[in-house]
Structure 1
Amino acid sequence: MESEILYVSSAPRVVLGLRDPLAAVMALLRPRAVVPAPLHAAGPWGVRFAPFPHVKLGVVVTGQCWLRLDGLEPILLNEGDFYLLGHPPQYMLSSSLEEVEARPAATLPRNTSGRGFRIGTEADEDSYTCSVDFTFDGGDSAMLLDALPRVVLVRAGDPRGPLFMNLASLLVSEIESLDVGNPLVLEHLAQIIFVHMLRAHAENNAQPSGWIAALAEDGVGAALRAIHAEVGRRWTLAELAEISQMSRSVFSAAFKAKVGVPPLTYLIKWRMTLARDGLRNGDLSISELAAATGYESESAFSTAFRREVGSSPRHYRNAVRSARMREPQQGTPA
């Protein structure tokens, strides 16, 4: 049986074997969870977060607060609500919509226990939030970040609410814990919640665009799953349309509307994404990588790679290796 894992630390050849598109993208990007300290706040308060090209996952453990992102209407978050921010611009959490002096998140004082940040006194606490930042390995994070809306919400009263409440309890317990193995548990738990948030986004009919949302469909989603299951197959538009149970013209239009590019263009882009990862992190020869991604010859693969990336596979691999050799070694002054 082929692996269906969420995360792998090496082995681009494992990514090539993943049937599920979401699992394949997550394995390719190798997400790392960075767990910021939880925020306890009371009274009029506001915290401003700088923009960054990553993903933030958060939950309101107790109380409520307002989430304000530049360019979007404010969102009231209540106890038990989860939010996911994809490549967020500057944003703010606050106690109300009234004007308050928002503190930069990087300047918040830690509470007396040394775990978490506190605004106001413990006796007056009216809001408690926990959040996790995700960073990604390699240069292909845009494939995920560009597919996410600015905000994904799962309310406590949503059908998935009870599941998320259980996950929130585990997350808060681990964030507040000093037990052995705590970083490892937090890493995997955060990734589990991340995937459940992406599932919630895929099932949200109010946000139907993007390849993640398309995965939940029987038509375009079936074609996406087929492409990822057999990335090395020489797919034709007719075969993918048949899998989607549509005519070629209807399928092609539907796929482009949902995913943003035509079906065969998506196939080529995904192959080249895997190829770049294989050249950066793998040990397959260029001819082996060409065969694994569906090309009859190294020459055909090199032509497609140069067209998509702008350099030959060999030059790309050599450039990556040279750049890594120039990087300061751990523990060595830069």
Structure 2
Amino acid sequence: MLGFQDPMADAIGLLRPRTVIGPSLRATGEWALRFEPFPHVRVGGLVRGRCWLILDGHEPVLLREGDTFMLGNPPPYVLASTPDARPRPGDPVWAAAADGLVRIGAESNDDLYLCGGHIGFDDDNAALLTDLLPPLVIVRADDPRGGDLGQLITLLAAEVEATAPGGPLVQNHLAQVLLVHMLRAHACRTDRPTGWLGALNQDGIGAALRALHADVAHSWTLNELAGISHMSRSAFAEAFRNHVGVPPLEYLIQWRMSLARDALARDTLSISELAKATGYQSESAFSTAFRRVVGSSPATFRGEARRAQAASVSA
């Protein structure tokens, strides 16, 4: 069976997150670093001090000690001591880090301590999450979730500088825990549509989502899902679309095809096995749905994935 009972865990697992923890930054005096756009997500936070975060096209934001931030497919941005400091390219500064640390200014006098990392996803399914995120999410130190997030940032910074055995593994897990907590915080307080992410906080809609994910091969009907949500059929359909952005059965098809893309890319199931696992009575019915959503046949998609994997191995 494909799928589990936690849509957030399912989605993040399907994204195959790859974490690259950047060096910590310790700085004093006047400074500014400019970073170019990058795909997917960056997370970070301030262990000590304060600095400005300035995204192109957005107002400058002051980050304070204990604040945590998440950037989703952001435009170019600047980290700076003051909003009017003249920035220099940040990537060469990051590349010159020593022992997991970038230092700007006098070593004994640093007043900023920042730690963060980049989380990349498999491109085929990355939109499952990145389409739901704004360019910037901030959890302040005095937010109810701020204390836990601040502790994660402190632990992450300590692991980066310790260079201890198993450090990369610990860093990777801490970054992913940080990501989950940031997503929870964003989903709980946002006023903008957040698709399945926000819908998880709605009792009835969340129950239906969990049921879909628990048994993706089941031939779900609108009546069944409405019953799970303890709502009338019409009220459920309207509420689901309002929160998730698509009708319930269309969401089911999209989720099935996301699972199918992943299985085909990893070559774990035959097409007939995959058709059964995703709730289709025949290989042809599955192929028709796959082509409609993805734009190519399952066989073509799998062949392209195999060629791409072979090319990456030989490169």
TM-score in terms of structure 2 length? 0.94
Summarize the Cα distance change of 1:251–1:70 in structure 2 as closer, same or farther, 3 Å threshold.
farther
- The 5-angstrom pairing of residues 92-131 of structure 1 reads 92-97=78-83, 99-108=84-93, 114-131=99-116
Aligned equivalents of 2:14, 2:158: Cα separation in 1 = 29
Indicate conservation of the 8 Å contact 1:81/1:153, yes or no.
Answer: yes
What is the aligned partner in structure 2 of residue 196 from structure 1? 181
What is the aligned partner in structure 1 of residue 28 from structure 2? 42
Aligned equivalents of 1:246, 1:42: Cα separation in 2 = 57
CA offsets 1:170-191 (integer angstroms, 9 cap, x no match): 1111011121111111111111
What is the aligned partner in structure 2 of residue 7 from structure 1? none
What one-letter code is carried by the residue in structure 1 that aligns with 2:311? R
CA offsets 1:89-112 (integer angstroms, 9 cap, x no match): 111111122x22111111217789
Q: Percent identity?
A: 54
Aligned equivalents of 1:296, 1:255: Cα separation in 2 = 26
2:42 is equivalent to residue 53 of structure 1: no
What is the aligned partner in structure 2 of residue 273 from structure 1? 258
Higher helix share: 2
CA offsets 1:136-174 (integer angstroms, 9 cap, x no match): 134111111001122222111111222223222211110
Q: C-alpha displacement at 1:293, in angstroms?
A: 0.4
Unpaired runs of 5+ residues, structure 1, are 1-12
After superposing the two structures, state which structure 1 stretch, 269-278 or 192-201, moved more: 192-201
What is the aligned partner in structure 2 of residue 169 from structure 1? 154
- Alignment: residue pair count: 315
2:288 is equivalent to residue 288 of structure 1: no
Indicate conservation of the 8 Å contact 2:66/2:147, yes or no.
Answer: no
Indicate conservation of the 8 Å contact 2:54/2:61, yes or no.
Answer: yes
- Secondary structure of the 2:220 match is coil
Q: C-alpha displacement at 1:219, in angstroms?
A: 2.3
Aligned equivalents of 1:112, 1:130: Cα separation in 2 = 13
Indicate conservation of the 8 Å contact 1:154/1:200, yes or no.
Answer: yes
Aligned equivalents of 1:191, 1:113: Cα separation in 2 = 24
CA offsets 1:203-256 (integer angstroms, 9 cap, x no match): 215445322111111122222111111111111122222222222222222222
What is the aligned partner in structure 2 of residue 3 from structure 1? none
The answer to which structure, 1 or 2, has the higher relative contact order (CA under 8 A, 6+ apart) is 2
2:49 is equivalent to residue 67 of structure 1: no
Indicate conservation of the 8 Å contact 2:73/2:135, yes or no.
Answer: yes
Counterpart of 2:13 (choices 23, 27, 41) is 27
2:78 is equivalent to residue 78 of structure 1: no
What is the aligned partner in structure 2 of residue 89 from structure 1? 75
Summarize the Cα distance change of 1:112–1:33 in structure 2 as closer, same or farther, 3 Å threshold.
closer
- What is the CA RMSD across the aligned residues, in angstroms? 1.9
Indicate conservation of the 8 Å contact 1:138/1:277, yes or no.
Answer: no
What one-letter code is carried by the residue in structure 2 that aligns with 1:70? D
Indicate conservation of the 8 Å contact 1:148/1:210, yes or no.
Answer: no
Runs of 4+ more than 6 Å apart: 109-112
TM-score in terms of structure 1 length? 0.89
What is the aligned partner in structure 2 of residue 8 from structure 1? none
Aligned equivalents of 1:258, 1:28: Cα separation in 2 = 22
- Secondary structure of the 2:150 match is helix
What one-letter code is carried by the residue in structure 1 that aligns with 2:182? M
Unpaired runs of 5+ residues, structure 2, are none
What is the aligned partner in structure 2 of residue 314 from structure 1? 299
